[in-house]
Amino acid sequence: MTLASASLPLRAQTNPSSNWYDCTTREQFTSQKADWCNQIRQMMNASYIFAPGGRATLRNGEFVDRTNQRYVGLDNRPGRVATGDLDGDGISDIVTLLTTNTGGSSGVYTHLVVGLQRGERVIPTVPITLGDRVQVQSVRIQDRKILVDVIVHGENDPRCCPTVRVQQVYRLGLMSVDE
């Protein structure tokens, strides 16, 4: 599976429309919260393949390799996780963000990753890099599209301080031999 994208100017900052849940609370879980918490737990303990050739298996949302100065973390904050049907099967899928850092001054990269619900399992796609030190404002699913409101670097922006607000739109697609 791949994601196809387009960037549009962001007219107004939006609120994420999907629910976010704190899975550490002790109250009785609704079925919706239980499903959401199961999906995010699986994403927090999944293996991810990064192009070209990198791999990280998260444990409780993090991967740390001190020897090679690599860090990967799953962003489980409100506005950074969205659920909804992306592939038209009528079952809710999940979208979230991963952050990677390879040490030194090489930057902090943000990646978009989809988890497709397949029976009891959530299968993560290959993460799509959104950029170095971009500022994601919200992630949501609408009409089988992933909408990412993000501040990216303009032509003259320093790496620390992006200023251009855009909405990136992603659709789930199938890989073909011709791509």
Residue 16 has a pLDDT of 40
Distance CA 153, CA 163 (A): 6
Burial of 149 (0-12, 13-18, 19+ CB in 10 A): buried
pLDDT in tens, 52-82: 668 899 999 999 988 888 899 999 999 999 9
Distance CA 166, CA 135 (A): 11
Beta strands in 85-159 (DSSP E): 93-101, 108-118, 121-124, 128-132, 135-142, 145-152
Distance CA 72, CA 13 (A): 27
Residue 150 pLDDT > 90: yes
Contact 97, 112 (CB under 8 A): yes
Tokens 């890989």 found at: 175
pTM of the model: 0.83
Rounded to the nearest 10°, the torsion over CA 60, 64, 70, 72 is 10
Highest mean pLDDT of the ranges 14-28, 42-56, 115-129: 115-129
pLDDT band at 51 (very low <50, low <70, confident <90, very high): low
Q: Domain limits of the chain?
A: 2-173
Q: How many CA atoms lie within 13 A of 9 on its CB side?
A: 1
